[in-house]
Structure 1
Amino acid sequence: MTLANAHALFCGLKSEPSYLANLTIPEDDRRALMDARNLIRATLKQAASSIPVHDEYWQEDFARITARMRPVIHVKFMTQGSYAYGTLNAPAQIPAQEIDLDDGMYVPVQFLQNGQPALAAKGLFAFAEAALAPLCSRKGWQLDSSKKNCVRVKLWRGAHIDIPIYSIPQDRFETMVEALQNAETTALMARDAMAQSWRLPSDQIMLAQRDGTWLQSDPQQLHDWVNGRSERYGAVYRRLCRFFKGWRDYTWEKSSLSSLCIMCAVDEALRRMNGFPGDSRDDELVMEVAKLLPAIFNDKVANPVIRHLCLNEWGDDERAAIIEEAEALRDEMVAALERTGHADVVITRLRNQFGQRIPYRPDAVKIATKIETIRQAPAAKVAAPIVIPSTSG
């Protein structure tokens, strides 16, 4: 038990938004994102019929054959990333930070003998951007061609949609059921239902790069990993990830501390805590995870599905800065919950790390008496006294 209980500020308020609610993107923005995503999908689906007639979209072997001999191309889509995981936050600092929706486009292709898709990676970038240009002009959106592994459409100040392009084998394409979402279906439900309808070996899914290369990449593996953490720890895992992403976004306009690194660090911290977190004290869980973050960030944080990739391969100065801020978070959380008996001070300390999205509700902070805190604290473990055997007589 801590001296202060600020759980309600994080996710338990009824009459006004808690921190979790303040992290959630507004409903109008969510609907606008879905409308934009659906328009982009429809535009690319309609334009895909023209792919066979463009020589520049194909690898050399297929570019030499006539257009009518090339396969008809259809595309399908699958939302991925934080929107699909249920960990998407509203940005803390606009316009430096933006709402990001990732919507993967899957293209069925034949594979050449060298293992490369018959469609050219550069050609697919050119196709997508040419198809979307009239739509963007009409809607006042902007195409951003600076991203090496996706097509980016900037929608409005503070929001964009990324479209990574994947190739999958033609003979498995028909088994992929697209996750069509409607107002009654959440992103997680639709994504999980779709995920159960098709499976491909990960080495048969290739991600197009703007420089013309293809990389093996299976976003479903990462989605499965996130679901596995949620099954292990419960809904609190996603909440904790969102809280720490909110801390990062308040602390830095831009940071090399990726969302995936944060999610892996939260998982590692919960493992080290050696228990199953409950739902009644999110504030205390944030504090306990924060106590472990400096050491976790100082060690290697591996990609959970591509284990040889390091998620925190930062420079020395960058690493020192991130660890310094993690230590500040740890110290403020301890001071707020374990060393402060005044609700106003608790909120001030929390806002120092999470910003004004922590609601100012001193009445929602419970302060225990020191006697209660001592009574409920775990008993200290001490070494047994040394007993020296003796004899008498």
Structure 2
Amino acid sequence: MALMNANTLLYGARDAIAYHQAIQLPDDVRAAMFQADRDIRARLRKVTRFVIDSGRAMSYASAEYRRAKQEPLQFELRFLRQGSVVYDTVIDPARRPPQQTDLDDGIYARTSFLSDFEPGLAATKYFELVETALAPLCKERGWRLVTNKDTCVRVVIDEKIHIDLPLYAVPDTEFVTLEKCFQDVTGLKLVAGSARLSTVLDGFSDIRIPTDRVMLAHRKKGWISSDPRALHDWFVRECERHGPQLRRTCRYLKGWRDFLFLEGGPASIALMACAVRSYKEGGWVPQNDRDDLAMLEIAKRLPVFFSATIVNPVLPDAEPLNDWDEVTRKRFVNAANDLHGHMHTALEGTANAEITVRRLQEALGTRVPYRPDLVRAFDKTPARAPVAAVVASPLPLRRPTTSA
């Protein structure tokens, strides 16, 4: 049993700004990020229309497609945001710069496929098209285009924000089915109602494009199978099963990571998988009004999870989510042990509210408010039979004296 209740320091109360509020992304940063993303989409749509209208799509076709096909390559782009912005686990980084808030916006090419489900669109040409389209925009806005990421094009907006653009291909036939289903559900064409696509896909899983039909462009490997919606669906299901606290604890873990590691800490998906596993393994009863205890329970298990294999929850045969070298693994395990030590001392190792606050700040940083008055202590001594209280007789009321 915990001696101390520090939930208000983490989750907050009506009259207190707590850690949960302190790590929220500021409204101005969020607005700037989404506006930049809308500008990127608009520029890519414009260039794509030019490619289609000018009949240049075949120049982006793979050699295999040109040899096997005679008809023009089908080619259109659609967009679907993914990652922490959609999971609702995005936070304001603790140490910026160099840490940045990122938005992942998947670019989906509706295109022709070969008979073996290899996209007719050449992966290298896909990267080239997107980078060529965005280079003038980046120059106009003072943004920086990063072209050395294996699975995306990155646009650095400023020291606070970058946008990653992973490039996907889906078969033309599958896309036609998706668009028809989307129109049946919303009454809108997909290109007009794309802002609602994520919400519709959440509610109608049967209209998804099959996972094995979604291919991700890789600069070195060409095309690899990868469907980000599968990961999204997994996390949504787990949040529905375990409640909103799971999403909050994932934010806290990301805040811990950002506070402790300037760069290169455990990946967000690895932290999410560890949080979900902590809830699944049982041995404790989550209480929605005790985020502090939930973090303690996760911290107890984190060193063990980091020491073993963290399996990708939607691709169990893929590389582990903690495919770290031994030096990195030891560093992360030691950090997880420290987190557990701080959380244990804060909640179970002291009856001093000031120590509780200091230990939480050592674990998560000074975005945990220094408010010992918000910490509640519990007496762990055995309960005794109540003793009749002796009540003194009330004193007579005295009228206040008035000055002359």
TM-score after normalising by structure 2: 0.85
SS of residue paired to 1:215: strand
Q: Which amino acid aligns with 2:294?
A: L
Residue 59 (structure 1) aligned with residue 62 (structure 2):
yes
1:113 Cα deviation after fit:
3.2
Report if aligned partners of 2:73, 2:120 keep a CA contact under 8 Å in 1: no
1:233 corresponds to which of 226, 242, 256: 242
Equivalent residue letter for 1:59: S
1:1-393 equivalences under 5 Å are 1-49=1-49, 50=51, 52-53=55-56, 56-63=59-66, 69-71=71-73, 73-174=75-176, 175-176=178-179, 177=182, 180-181=194-195, 189=199, 192-193=202-203, 196=205, 198-211=207-220, 213-274=222-283, 277-308=286-317, 309-371=319-381, 374=382
Structure 2 residue matching 1:248: 3-state secondary structure: helix
Alignment-derived partner of residue 186 in structure 2: none
Q: Does the aligned pair in 1 maintain the 2:48–2:76 contact within 8 Å?
A: yes
Cα separation, 1, equivalents of 2:86 and 2:103: 9
**Could you report, residue by residue, the CA deviation over 1:279-319 in whole angstroms, capped at 9, with x for unpaired residues?**
11100111111111111211111000110231112111111
| Partners of 1:351 and 1:190 in 2: CA distance | 40
Q: What letter corresponds to residue 60 of structure 2 in structure 1?
A: Y
Aligned-residue CA RMSD (Å): 2.3
**1:131 positional shift:** 0.7
Give the TM-score normalised by the residue count of structure 1. Answer: 0.88
TM-superposed deviation, 1:255? 2.5
Which residue pairs with 1:388 in the alignment?
none
Distance in 2 of aligned mates of 1:315 and 1:126: 33
Aligned residues of 1:120 and 1:212 also touching (Cα < 8 A): no
For structure 2, the 5+ residue unaligned runs are 183-189, 385-404
Identity of aligned residues (%): 35
Inter-partner Cα distance in structure 2 for 1:328 and 1:53: 57
Q: Tell me the CA shift for residue 21 of structure 1.
A: 1.1
For residue 196 of structure 1, report the CA deviation from its aligned partner: 4.0
Quote how far apart the aligned CAs of 1:121 are: 0.4
Matches of 2:198 and 2:230 in 1, distance apart? 15
SS in structure 2 of the partner of residue 173 of structure 1? helix
Q: Is this contact kept in 2: 1:62–1:70, CA < 8 A?
A: no
Select the structure of larger CA radius of gyration. 2
- 1:146 match: secondary structure: coil
Q: Is the 8 A contact 2:7 2:289 kept in 1?
A: yes
Number of residue pairs aligned between Structure 1 and Structure 2: 368
In the alignment, structure 1 segments of 5+ residues that lack a partner are 377-393
**Alpha-carbon deviation of 1:97?**
1.2
Alpha-carbon contact 2:258-2:265 (below 8 Å) kept: no
The 1:275–1:342 alpha-carbon spacing in structure 2 relative to 1, beyond 3 Å, is: closer
Q: Partner amino acid for 1:126?
A: E
1:146-199, Cα deviation, whole Å (9 max, x unpaired): 111001110110211111111001012132455644xxx8x9746635x64731
Secondary structure of residue in 1 paired with 2:79: strand
